[in-house]
Structure 1
């Protein structure tokens, strides 16, 4: 079972947190069992989750004033392999177990085995973060930001042209058609960039998996932009045209960008 790079770093950071709560003696033991677990013939996810669980068990034993070494049997490596679910134990060790079953000390061996199993640390599954949901509010935020950015650019360019003595007439008008194209085009651009940047890591897939591009989604958004352009272009002269001084456009753009977070950001809950 593979593990994504994001999930691997998350688990390892939690391991470091647990280690920071240990005494130097227990840190030394934790390093030893971590090394054994990572060299065990088990998949990486099982190894790292078990190491994290072992760290939590050591910290709990420390709080209970118990030596963490008592959580494991005399053969540390064999005990860790057993807790990881590795059954291919060496033949000589298997033979020793069989002899122990037929010896008079069977009762003592069973008691020790039961105690060791009781202290066994089971890997704990970790939760995968949910992907960002694309809600109408999210799309409205993109359109708002795109319109604000367009207004800011038009206003700043108009101010620069006026400052250099040029004609600012072209920068004092903006049509409703241009605003529609800016809004829809902004949504399409952001969606295409998001889909191109999506990696298997975001869904908890194997970090070695080759990223897949969602061509269907990209094509859909391109088609939407093309439809807006071809359907709206003949109507560009019939749609309203707004007259705004360059400085007014610049102010609208600044205010629009500044209010993106207050209007569309997630509110903190107590």
Structure 2
């Protein structure tokens, strides 16, 4: 069975649960989908647990009686048995993100630079790139992807239940960091050098980056 089909069946089973059991089981889902267990195995385990919960609920038992006091306890042994990602794998992951972001940046510079050159006679701002922009895109891409992955772990449309409450502290920290980055970036942008680059060179860099992305990071 595919992951999507298991999620669909899991959602159907959740509709049969009492409010208490559903809330408990949704906490189990959040814990498992945020763990190191791969997606296929995660959905297999969650589907097994959902079927067990529906069956035992019919006998008058609630989720705590079946799985334990804390939702994450039922899967703790399985989660802890999964080895952490190798350091090399993590390094490759954190190199791939800025590589892909910078590749896209040069693709945009090249494509829009040529478009402007053909329509106006000049590639304008698309023929220049600052060192600060390169640094900001590289580092910023990692931050954005990490935040996105954390959000996806907690919420995935109809596939994953919403987390409870509103993290005002976390939002305030992100806003403060963004404000500092914007302030420092405005200052650094006037100090760091700006490079002139032909749209064709940008496209060549884009092509090399795309090939490198395939060869270095997407090998099976």
Check whether TM > 0.5.
yes
Partner of 2:204: 251
Partner of 2:137: 182
Contact 1:195–1:218, Cα closer than 8 Å, also in 2:
no
Contact 2:101–2:138, Cα closer than 8 Å, also in 1:
yes
- Consecutive unaligned residues of structure 1, counting only runs of 5 or more, are 16-30, 50-123
User: Structure 2 CA distance, aligned partners of 1:34 and 1:172?
Assistant: 61
Closer/same/farther in 2, CA of residues 222 and 36 from structure 1, 3 Å limit: closer
**1:230 pairs with 186, 191, 212, which one?**
186
> Which structure would you say has the larger Rg?
1
Partner of 1:149: 104
**1:11 pairs with 27, 45, 48, which one?**
45
Give how far 1:200 is off.
7.9
Closer/same/farther in 2, CA of residues 135 and 248 from structure 1, 3 Å limit: same
Contact 1:158–1:171, Cα closer than 8 Å, also in 2:
yes
> Does residue 210 of structure 1 match 2:164?
yes
Q: 3-state DSSP class of the match of 1:42?
A: coil
Partner of 2:195: 242
Alignment of 1:3-82 (within 5 A): 3=25, 4-5=28-29, 9-11=43-45, 13=47, 37-44=56-63
Q: 3-state DSSP class of the match of 1:174?
A: strand
Contact 2:154–2:162, Cα closer than 8 Å, also in 1:
no
**1:173 pairs with 128, 143, 166, which one?**
128
Contact 1:141–1:260, Cα closer than 8 Å, also in 2:
yes
Contact 1:184–1:225, Cα closer than 8 Å, also in 2:
no
User: Structure 1 CA distance, aligned partners of 2:93 and 2:54?
Assistant: 45
Alignment of 1:113-124 (within 5 A): none
User: Structure 2 CA distance, aligned partners of 1:159 and 1:36?
Assistant: 63
- Consecutive unaligned residues of structure 2, counting only runs of 5 or more, are 1-20, 33-41, 68-72
Give how far 1:45 is off.
7.2
Give how far 1:44 is off.
3.5
Contact 1:141–1:264, Cα closer than 8 Å, also in 2:
yes
Q: 3-state DSSP class of the match of 1:242?
A: strand
Give how far 1:223 is off.
5.0
Contact 2:98–2:138, Cα closer than 8 Å, also in 1:
yes
Give how far 1:222 is off.
1.9
Task: Give the structure with the larger helix fraction.
Answer: 2
User: Structure 2 CA distance, aligned partners of 1:186 and 1:170?
Assistant: 22
Q: Note the aligned Cα RMSD (angstroms).
A: 4.4
